[in-house]
Structure 1
Amino acid sequence: MDTRKVQITGKSTYIVTLPKKWASKEKLKSGSPLSIIYNDDGSLIIKPPRVEKGRDIRKIKDNKNLEHLKRDIIGLYIVGDYKSIEVHGEHLSGEFGNEIKNLCNRLVGLELAESSNKLLVIQNYLDIDEFTIEKGIKRMSSIIYLMFEEMYDAFENNDRSVCKDIIKRDDDIDRLFILVSKQFVSRLSLRKFSKNDSLSLIEAFYYRLAGNDIERIGDHISKIALHYEHTEIMPDVLSQLQEICMDLQNLFMDSLESLRRSDNLLANQLLERGEEINGRLAIVAQSADNASINMIIDSFGRIRDYASNIAEYSIDLSQL
C-alpha cells in the first residue's frame, strides 16, 4: 500500500500526488479527468477515464451446445460491461436464434439485433443509472407479496385458476434478481454503477444476499402453486395452509422492513415468529395424506427459512 502526505496550496486547496506506476499504467497525462467517489466510511475511490467507459464488443464462438452458450451470455451480462455480444459459428440454426431471443427477453436491456446462420448480435441497451439495488429488491418484494396474496386467495376459494399466473410471475423475479446481481458485481469491480445508489458496499452485499433469498422464495411459491393446481386437499388442511400462507407473507414483508431499518429488535422477534410457524407446519404435516401436500408443506418451511435469513442479515447490519 502506498502512502501520501497531504499538501496545501493557497488557503483551501488540498493536494495528494498519485503513484507514478498507476498513472503510467492508466496513461494519464496533464488534464486527464478522474472521477472521485465518496464512501460512507470516509474513504475515496479514484477512477481513471477508461473505467467509466463500457467495453464495446465481446466475441464468443458457438460450441454447438445451446445450454452452454446461454450460460455464457448470462455470465457476460452479469459480470461484463459490453455494449454488444457477438456469437460466431458455422451452423447457427433457427432454434439457436429463437432460444437466444427468448433468453434476451429474460435479461433486462438485452435485445437480439441480428440473427443469421453464422452470426448472432446481442445489443445491450441497459442504462444502469436508472436502476439501483434497493429499487430491485423493492420491486422483487412487491411481486412476492402479490404471489402470496394470490396463493392465499386460491386456498380461500379453493380456486386453481390463478396458479398459472402465480407460476409465471416467478419469471419476473428471476429477471430482477439477475439485474440486482449485475449491479452488485459493478459495485465490487468499481465499474460504473448508479449515481442514485445510496447503499454502502457492505449494505449492498447484504441486499444481494437478500435478493438471493427473495428469488428462492419466488421459486417455492411457484412450486406450491404447481402442486396445488393438481392436488385435492381436505378443507381442514387447506384452512391451515391458508393461515400459514398469510403469516409467511407478513413474516417476509416484516423481514424486509427489518433489513431496511437494520432493526435488531424486530429481527429477533421475527426469528421467534418463524419458529412458531415451523411448529404449525409440523402439525399440518401429520395430516398430510399425499406427496404433493408434503411438498407444499416443505416449500412453506423453506420460505420460512429464507425470510428468517433476511431477518438475520438485518441483525448483522445493525452492528455497523
Structure 2
Amino acid sequence: MEIRKVQITGGSSYIISLPKEWVRDSGIEKNDPLGLIVQPDGSLTVTPKITGKMAERTKIFNLNDIDNAETLYRLLIGAYVTGFNTIKIITPARIPSFAHKAVRQFIQASIGQEVSEETEKCIVIKDLLNPGEMPFENVISRMYVIMDGMLRDSMFALKTRDKDLAEDVISRDRDINRLYWLISRQYNLLLRNVSLSREMGMDVEMALHYLQVSRIMERAGDQVVRVAENVQGLLFVSLERKLMDILHILTSEIMNIFHSCIDSFFKRDLAGTDETLLKVQNFNRKCDDASKELSDISRLGVITVGYIFENLKRISEYAGVICETSLNYIVMEDS
C-alpha cells in the first residue's frame, strides 16, 4: 500500500497525487476524466472506466489440448462465469464434431451467448447481454418461480401418474443452473469493473449476498430434482390416501416458507426473517413426525416416500440458510 498525504490547493480543494506507474499502465493522459466511487466501507475507488461498459476480454481454447465434448463444455462454462465476453475455439485442422456438440450445449446452458463467427478452424462466441438488463433480484425471483413450479408439478405427476411430467421437472433443473451461472458471471464482471455498479444497481458487497442466495437456491433446486426422481419410483405404486395428503401439505408448506425467506431477503425484513426461521424449525419437526409414522405402514413405496420427506427437509434447511444470509445482509446495511 502506498501512503500519500492530502494537500489543500486554492484554499478549499483537497488533492492527492496519483501513482505514476498506475497512471502510465492505465494509459491516462492530461485532462482525462476519472471516475470516483464511494464504497460502503468508506473507501474511495478511482477508475479510468467511467462509461460502465465492459472491457473486451477474450479467452482462447486450442483444441490441441482438448479431446472431448465434456471437457470443452466445462471450460466454456468457466470462461462464461468468470466474465469473458469473447470466446474463441481454434484448431490447426478442421473443427471436430465434439466441439460443435459442446458449443451447442453451452449456448443452450448460458444466457446471452451466441456464435458470431464460424469457419473450418475457428468458432467465435460473443456475449450479447447487457449486464443491466438482468437485475439480480429478478434472477432470484425467476429461480424461485421455477423451483415452485417444479415441486408442484412433481406432486401433480404423482397424482396423475404422469411419467413425462416427472421427466420434464427433472430437465428444468438446467434453467435454475443457467440463472445461477448468470449471477456468478454478473458478480465477477462487477468485481473487475466497479463502475458497472450503477448500471447493475448494486455494489460488490451487496452482490456477494445475492450470489450466496443464488448458490443456496441452486442446491435447493437439486433437492427438488431428487423429489421428482423419487416420484418416478412411485408412479406405479398405490399409495395410501393419507400419505398422498401429507405429501401435498408438506410440499405446499415448504414453498410458502421458501417464498417468505426470499421476500424477507428482498425487503431487508428482520422480523420476517426471524419468523421464517421459526417456520423452518416447525417444518423440520413435521417432516420428522411424518417419517416416524411410516413405520406403522407396511406397504410398497413407504421407503421412497421417506426419501421425499428427507428431500423436503433439506429444502427447508436451505431456506434457513437463506434466512441467515439475510440476517447478515441486514446487519451489514445497518452498520
Give me the TM-score of the superposition, normalised by structure 2. Answer: 0.84
- 1:140-159 map, 5 Å: 140-154=143-157
Decide whether aligned partners of structure 1 residues 88 and 234 sit closer, same or farther in structure 2, where only a CA change above 3 A counts: farther
- Alignment partner of 1:22 is 2:22: yes
Of 162, 172, 176, the match for 1:173: 176
The whole-number CA distance in structure 2 between the counterparts of 1:89 and 1:188 is 35
Q: Select between 173-182 and 290-299 the one with higher mean Cα deviation.
A: 290-299
The whole-number CA distance in structure 2 between the counterparts of 1:285 and 1:221 is 18
Q: Letter of the aligned partner of 1:145 in structure 2?
A: D
The whole-number CA distance in structure 2 between the counterparts of 1:11 and 1:147 is 65
For the Cα contact (< 8 Å) 2:68–2:99, is it kept in 1? no
For the Cα contact (< 8 Å) 1:132–1:183, is it kept in 2? no
Aligned to 1:263: 269
Q: Where does structure 1 lack aligned partners over 5 or more consecutive residues?
A: none
Of 69, 84, 87, the match for 1:84: 87
Secondary structure of the structure 2 residue equivalent to 1:304: helix
What's the CA shift for 1:61? 1.3
Q: Where does structure 2 lack aligned partners over 5 or more consecutive residues?
A: none
The whole-number CA distance in structure 2 between the counterparts of 1:11 and 1:144 is 61
- 1:1-320 map, 5 Å: 1-7=1-7, 14-49=14-49, 53-62=54-63, 63-88=66-91, 90=93, 92-115=95-118, 118-154=121-157, 160-190=163-193, 193=196, 195-231=198-234, 232=237, 233-286=239-292, 287=294, 289-290=300-301, 291-320=303-332
How many residue pairs get aligned? The number is 320
Q: Letter of the aligned partner of 1:57 in structure 2?
A: T
The whole-number CA distance in structure 1 between the counterparts of 2:12 and 2:169 is 60
The whole-number CA distance in structure 1 between the counterparts of 2:18 and 2:200 is 27
Give me the TM-score of the superposition, normalised by structure 1. Answer: 0.87
Note the aligned Cα RMSD (angstroms).
2.7
Q: Select between 103-112 and 16-25 the one with higher mean Cα deviation.
A: 16-25
What is the aligned-residue identity percentage? 26
For the Cα contact (< 8 Å) 1:109–1:125, is it kept in 2? yes
For the Cα contact (< 8 Å) 1:129–1:194, is it kept in 2? no
For the Cα contact (< 8 Å) 1:105–1:111, is it kept in 2? no
Q: Select between 203-212 and 136-145 the one with higher mean Cα deviation.
A: 136-145
Decide whether aligned partners of structure 1 residues 56 and 214 sit closer, same or farther in structure 2, where only a CA change above 3 A counts: closer
Q: Deviations over 1:12-41 (max 9, x none)?
A: 755332122321222321133323333344
Q: Deviations over 1:228-265 (max 9, x none)?
A: 13312332112111111011001101011121223333
What's the CA shift for 1:299? 1.5
Q: Select between 115-124 and 225-234 the one with higher mean Cα deviation.
A: 115-124
The whole-number CA distance in structure 2 between the counterparts of 1:245 and 1:12 is 64
Q: List structure 1 runs of 4+ shifted beyond 6 angstroms.
A: none
